[in-house]
């Protein structure tokens, strides 16, 4: 398979731009595999990461809303 023909579509922008520790999770995963032809066994974990982030982001927003509704984070 020609590396130039591999691509991913349909990753929501909020998932693509989601960062952990200053790194965009989806972009870093792909960057770490640059130059390789990805097999189905490689792609499945990437799809799982995308799906997990798509579920996590709204939960994080709900948690932030609840914290705000109850006076925000306590000051130390």
**Digit-coded pLDDT (tens) for 11-22:** 999 999 999 999
Tell me the pLDDT tens digit for each residue of 15-59.
Answer: 999 999 999 999 999 999 998 999 999 999 999 999 999 999 999
Distance CA 48, CA 73 (A): 31
Tell me the three state secondary structure of residue 20.
Answer: strand
Q: Which two tokens stand for residue 10?
A: 């349909």
Residue whose entry in the numeric block shows the structure tokens 């109850």: 70
Rounded Cα distance, 30 and 19, in Å: 14
pTM, entire model = 0.80
């Amino acid at each position: 398979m020609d590396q130039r023909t591999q691509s991913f579509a349909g990753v929501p922008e909020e998932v693509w731009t989601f960062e952990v520790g200053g790194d965009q999770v989806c972009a870093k995963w792909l960057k770490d595999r640059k130059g390789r032809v990805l097999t189905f066994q490689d792609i499945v974990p990437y799809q799982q990461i995308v799906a997990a982030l798509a579920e996590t982001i709204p939960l994080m927003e709900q948690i932030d809303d609840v914290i705000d509704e109850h006076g925000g984070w306590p000051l130390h």
